[in-house]
Structure 1
């Protein structure tokens, strides 16, 4: 079952699309509720959503659909429209151990000696 924030974000997006009155838009409250339930199930199946990361992405996907759809969209169109999640920043390489530093210093010293010859 979807979290409340996710269901709410999808509901708001679908309501905005419904305001456009595209062909295929659910025409009454029962069909809109059924449509919303199917969308939530389709969008959440096998996916992990994170509120802070995904609310802006969900809003962006619905905005993209509002700009481009000529008929009531399917969840697959939403999933194609959603922007990629931001990548986590890369971690710096771990610091060298003392043994590794000693080995590098030794290699540098050997290189200097070889160049000095």
Structure 2
């Protein structure tokens, strides 16, 4: 897995981040650090170790890579291994986007009507019995039952 900072290889950004992080670590004079001329080869080895079996996304992970190297620069007295880097990496934020929902215009109108019916019902205060809900889909009825149990 040969790459250089200017290549068009899809892992080039990972190599760049690793090399820059290792260069930052080398400024600290840590015990057991490789010689400066060995850093590009060290970065390639780290790339192989870190990339193996994982899927990285530049938009999501570039800041996580930088944060992991910052953590290592703050906490290490000896040269870290790739496993130390992965341990220092913050957890990925979950993807919050929901898949798009495709509804026919008739089904969409039915859903809007169901929501409108729910909004027409008077609110129930905690502990009060709620009015039975009518005209709801099975999923909406199950949700309503769960909410009533929690109240």
> Do they fold alike, i.e. is TM over 0.5?
yes
User: 5+ unaligned residues in a row in structure 1: which ranges?
Assistant: 110-117
* Runs of 4+, deviation exceeding 6 Å: none
2:16 corresponds, among 8, 12, 17, to 8
Q: CA deviation at 1:91?
A: 3.7
2:35 corresponds, among 27, 31, 43, to 27
Give me the TM-score of the superposition, normalised by structure 1: 0.75
Distance 1:56 1:8, change over 3 A: same
Counterpart Cα distance in 2 of 1:38 and 1:46: 15
Q: CA deviation at 1:74?
A: 0.2
* Structure with greater proportional helix content: 1
Counterpart Cα distance in 2 of 1:71 and 1:46: 27
Counterpart Cα distance in 2 of 1:27 and 1:82: 25
1:47 corresponds, among 41, 49, 54, to 54
Q: CA deviation at 1:89?
A: 1.5
| Aligned equivalent of 2:133 | 108
- The answer (yes or no) to whether the contact 2:25–2:73 under 8 Å persists in 1 is yes
CA RMSD, aligned part only?
A: 2.8
User: 5+ unaligned residues in a row in structure 2: which ranges?
Assistant: 2-9, 119-131, 135-151
1:86 equivalent to 2:111? Answer no
Q: CA deviation at 1:90?
A: 5.9
